[in-house]
Structure 1
């Protein structure tokens, strides 16, 4: 498909995919039928792989790593493959966005924007592949010289979620490849298509066989086996904190594999009275509604100075009612469908719980009947107590809780009153206020007078129970390396035994 328009048609029948191991497509497995969350019709058929399939994929990745067909290339050669992949992604942007929409339910315009970010990730990683380096120590005396080498960690297991299937994949894959590692990827069983399409892209770009493998199936079967696998050197997992904790246990019980974890968030959006109120209102409406709130860095806790709280919430409620919710294939849609039935039920359950606990429903809280899909209106609660479930639990939907503060110390205390530390945003025209808050609120990503801004140059990751390690940028390549100290002695040894 060369062009996606406002009237893009649904596929006439579900597209069947294979899985990808050692540079070859495989089939012959039972198939999972995926229904479009925005339309309720079948769109893809995805293989239900077995643990034996995973073992073969890991073996292929191990062979490709050990034979040096990728790790042994120069950084320039690896960069060339990554740049060719970026060019192919640019050619196939609309096609990839189309399948992302069909499986995930996000708006088509948003999906295309995400593919642009993915292209930038490959281009950024190509630059890091050429510049990745170690260090040297010329300070050990005349007879000893020290080198610090960065070497690829080995075979990386990559488990990605359903909320940003391609974007999160591309915030990891090119940086893993830049380091010289090989990959076995397991996408969510409900959004596997674009991870499989990336295999086509990388093969066309010249990636050697076995360097990128895709095994599809459930998290309980394939994901658990990856976490436990003794020949996977590192596991990168993006998802819930609860599952991240199980990855830690599985790694400890198998081979002490290295872990990269991007987990849950309950992210504060802090607004001071001197902020540009209209800009802040628009930003928080975007921050909680983008990707239907199914976003680990969504601004789910509004913390607003009491003197402006009433005005702010009134403007926000009015703004939220004007968000365009609808068919994900419509170019004008801003908020699409909820991705799974289970998540739809979870969000509605939290909305009901907020009412039961005594929070005031300001706007939203309702389901919308649109074309056979699952849709929930962006929702704002005020009068939320800090001990309420909607204040503490990650809802992963378009549900915003509002809190009020009187002093900067109180704002910081409320912001830090969570087990999570993934992202935060502060709004103030006072640079001292903004810097004080950004330095003292514990979060891995921070935005000042903006939200969800930035590119692949900057690292991604969280504090506290929001995860371990960093993705993207130079740090995201270094994450997939091991450091080796090399000592080189000159001259004759001073003998210990005389």
Structure 2
């Protein structure tokens, strides 16, 4: 028998027992993995094991691919009209909303994020994304192209087939919706691997996929380790497209795997080291609140976190004072406490990684302005942390920490033109230019600008090398608005109409309407 999750929730809006299977979900059935191997699931708030999930092997992934291929050929794909796919997706979104309190409680228990965030952001937005793409399901079509009176040419946007999807642990169900939404709308079938740290919400929703009436094999969920199940997905000859959200290093490995096998299509949403730029004409109170949200939302475990904060010199002291006060007010603790904003890091591994960066920052000579220590004695909690007196070459300024750690740095102006006198010559150098500083990273996922001068803000936005730029806000994500990166933050777009392009092949059909031929 496959393993089962059973937990009695006593805090928050959902109070009761949640019970569901945590086996591999293949062909609409929960199953044991090969050899009945399991993975322990830890509550990051207590460091205690709360469940086991089935561990997928390469053979299990193969079984899932076979189920998905059969479904694509017989009960999904081109055989089911878009409006019928859309109805099932709408039903799934309704069911997620029906069980929102239970799913949010599972997400908070498994991931550690505040229940208020799980419910009002993660699960709410996951349902919204699936509903958004349900609306697209019967609107994915090609064009008729005028050639001449003797020729009819048109294009078809056809599903690719079986697609592999690998999602991270920071937004488990929300990332699930980003992947399955456009794939299902366009008629593909799915083999999805959630993170081994946070598979519970995806498995709970698998039961809703059955309840909604999806045919067997359309969605298959195979929890497991990246080196085993993830690699099996990226190398499987029966999978013609793979979508991955996670680190840049793993994204590069997936590209190599895809290229070395069947040259499958790849889309990657990878890491970031996003700048937040605060100009001297910004509403400082507004900038303080948004900048704090930019760094510490989701415990800093956000790929687009605004972890590099650049503040114009003339307002630096005032901003830092307000920012410090605001960060100190953030409540860290039990995810089910109504006042909690920041819960624990997701795992011991991530806790150790973040604390390692904090120690590195201190050794490099940065000033630990706030935090930098463990919060409490149980769980993977880290105090919200701010570094000042940082330089661009420091590790904490260049690498993605993926935790509640931000750096605050000054700049002079947009152009930052300085005069240096070297021997008898005068050189005009623009190295302090805020655009240069903000773009001085191999990432390019997002950025934020705070200014009351919309012309200045827009000019700056157009000069930044980032896939998303927020003005006077940060971390605002919507189902209809595309999201993705430049440079080593990946390629392809999630969300919006653009994401549909990731999951279709374009076929051209030419029809000769005359009896003429070239010879």
Q: Supply the distance in 1 between the matched residues of 2:505 and 2:37 (Cα, whole angstroms).
A: 39
Q: Supply the distance in 1 between the matched residues of 2:191 and 2:402 (Cα, whole angstroms).
A: 27
Superimposed CA distance per residue, residues 467-493 of structure 1 (whole angstroms, 9 cap, x where no aligned partner): 110111111122111111111111113
Segment drifting more, 90-99 vs 400-409: 400-409
Contact in 1 for aligned 2:163/2:241 (Cα 8 Å): yes
Contact in 2 for aligned 1:160/1:169 (Cα 8 Å): yes
Q: Supply the distance in 2 between the matched residues of 1:141 and 1:6 (Cα, whole angstroms).
A: 66
Q: Supply the distance in 2 between the matched residues of 1:395 and 1:9 (Cα, whole angstroms).
A: 35
- 1:439–1:485 CA distance, 2 compared to 1 (3 A): same
- Which residue does the alignment assign to 1:405? 411
Contact in 2 for aligned 1:2/1:95 (Cα 8 Å): no
Superimposed CA distance per residue, residues 52-107 of structure 1 (whole angstroms, 9 cap, x where no aligned partner): 11100001111111225343211111110011001100111111111111111111
More relative contact order, 1 or 2 (CA 8 Å, 6+ apart):
1
- Which residue does the alignment assign to 2:325? 318
User: Does 1:72 find its partner at 2:94?
Assistant: no
- 1:491–1:236 CA distance, 2 compared to 1 (3 A): same
User: Does 1:275 find its partner at 2:282?
Assistant: yes
Show structure 1 runs of 5+ residues with no match: none
Give 1:17-56 correspondences, 5 Å limit: 17-27=22-32, 29-56=36-63
Counterpart secondary structure, 1:368: coil
Superimposed CA distance per residue, residues 118-163 of structure 1 (whole angstroms, 9 cap, x where no aligned partner): 111011001111221211112x111112111101111110101111
Counterpart secondary structure, 1:117: helix
Superimposed CA distance per residue, residues 160-183 of structure 1 (whole angstroms, 9 cap, x where no aligned partner): 111111111111212110010000
Shift of 1:26: 0.8
User: Does 1:129 find its partner at 2:152?
Assistant: no
Give 1:281-296 correspondences, 5 Å limit: 281-296=288-303
Q: Supply the distance in 1 between the matched residues of 2:49 and 2:8 (Cα, whole angstroms).
A: 22
Superimposed CA distance per residue, residues 258-289 of structure 1 (whole angstroms, 9 cap, x where no aligned partner): 01110000001011000110010011111111
Give 1:165-314 correspondences, 5 Å limit: 165-314=172-321
User: Does 1:328 find its partner at 2:335?
Assistant: yes
In the alignment, which of 472, 484, 488 is matched to residue 465 of structure 1? 488
In the alignment, which of 369, 373, 378 is matched to residue 379 of structure 2? 373
TM-score, normalised to structure 1, is: 0.96
Segment drifting more, 60-69 vs 207-216: 60-69
Superimposed CA distance per residue, residues 452-480 of structure 1 (whole angstroms, 9 cap, x where no aligned partner): 11410011111100011011111112211
User: Does 1:86 find its partner at 2:93?
Assistant: yes
Give 1:424-439 correspondences, 5 Å limit: 424-439=447-462
Q: Supply the distance in 2 between the matched residues of 1:7 and 1:133 (Cα, whole angstroms).
A: 43
Shift of 1:2: 11
Counterpart secondary structure, 1:43: strand
Q: Supply the distance in 2 between the matched residues of 1:191 and 1:385 (Cα, whole angstroms).
A: 35
Counterpart secondary structure, 1:354: helix
Counterpart secondary structure, 1:231: coil
- Which residue does the alignment assign to 1:352? 359
Q: Supply the distance in 1 between the matched residues of 2:162 and 2:296 (Cα, whole angstroms).
A: 37
Q: Supply the distance in 2 between the matched residues of 1:402 and 1:280 (Cα, whole angstroms).
A: 13
Alpha-carbon RMSD: 1.8
- Which residue does the alignment assign to 2:402? 396
The number of residue pairs the alignment matches comes to 493
Segment drifting more, 31-40 vs 62-71: 62-71
In the alignment, which of 460, 469, 478 is matched to residue 446 of structure 1? 469
- Which residue does the alignment assign to 2:116? 109
Contact in 2 for aligned 1:157/1:226 (Cα 8 Å): yes
Superimposed CA distance per residue, residues 342-382 of structure 1 (whole angstroms, 9 cap, x where no aligned partner): 11111111111111111111111111115x21111111111
Q: Supply the distance in 1 between the matched residues of 2:365 and 2:474 (Cα, whole angstroms).
A: 29
Contact in 2 for aligned 1:21/1:214 (Cα 8 Å): yes
Counterpart secondary structure, 2:334: coil
Contact in 2 for aligned 1:461/1:469 (Cα 8 Å): yes
Contact in 1 for aligned 2:9/2:16 (Cα 8 Å): no
Contact in 1 for aligned 2:76/2:187 (Cα 8 Å): no
Q: Supply the distance in 2 between the matched residues of 1:98 and 1:186 (Cα, whole angstroms).
A: 21
Contact in 2 for aligned 1:121/1:170 (Cα 8 Å): yes
Superimposed CA distance per residue, residues 379-402 of structure 1 (whole angstroms, 9 cap, x where no aligned partner): 111111000000000000011011
Q: Supply the distance in 1 between the matched residues of 2:292 and 2:496 (Cα, whole angstroms).
A: 28
Q: Supply the distance in 2 between the matched residues of 1:16 and 1:374 (Cα, whole angstroms).
A: 27
- Which residue does the alignment assign to 2:126? 118
Segment drifting more, 472-481 vs 318-327: 472-481
